[in-house]
């Protein structure tokens, strides 16, 4: 018997400013250049994102971070 159980997950990051990390001689693994929160809009269902909204979000974040799509892997 197969069934679908909707669920939620969470991820936590502990971050500090870049200047504090440099001061503390921390190993810097990544730098957050931009962030954004946006509702996905109407979609085909709970697990299916709105493709147009996802594309707009990605384009906005790339521009906000001063990057081009080819800079992202």
pTM: 0.57
Domain boundaries, the chain: 18-71
DSSP 3-67: ---------------HHHHHHTT----------------S-SBTTB--HHHHHHHHHHHHHHTT-
- pLDDT at res. 1: 67
Taking the C-alpha atoms of residue 69 and residue 29, their distance in angstroms, rounded to an integer, is 21
pLDDT in tens, 36-48: 887 766 777 767 7
User: What pLDDT, on the 0 to 100 scale, is given for residue 4?
Assistant: 76
pLDDT profile of the chain (73 residues), mean per 10: 78 89 93 82 73 88 93 85
């Amino acid at each position: 018997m197969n069934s679908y159980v909707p669920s939620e997950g969470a991820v936590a990051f502990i971050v500090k400013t870049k200047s504090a990390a440099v001061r503390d001689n921390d190993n810097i693994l990544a730098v957050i250049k931009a962030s954004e929160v946006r509702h996905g809009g109407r979609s085909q269902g709970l697990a299916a994102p709105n493709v147009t909204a996802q594309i707009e979000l990605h384009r906005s974040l790339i521009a906000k971070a001063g990057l081009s799509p080819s800079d992202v892997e």
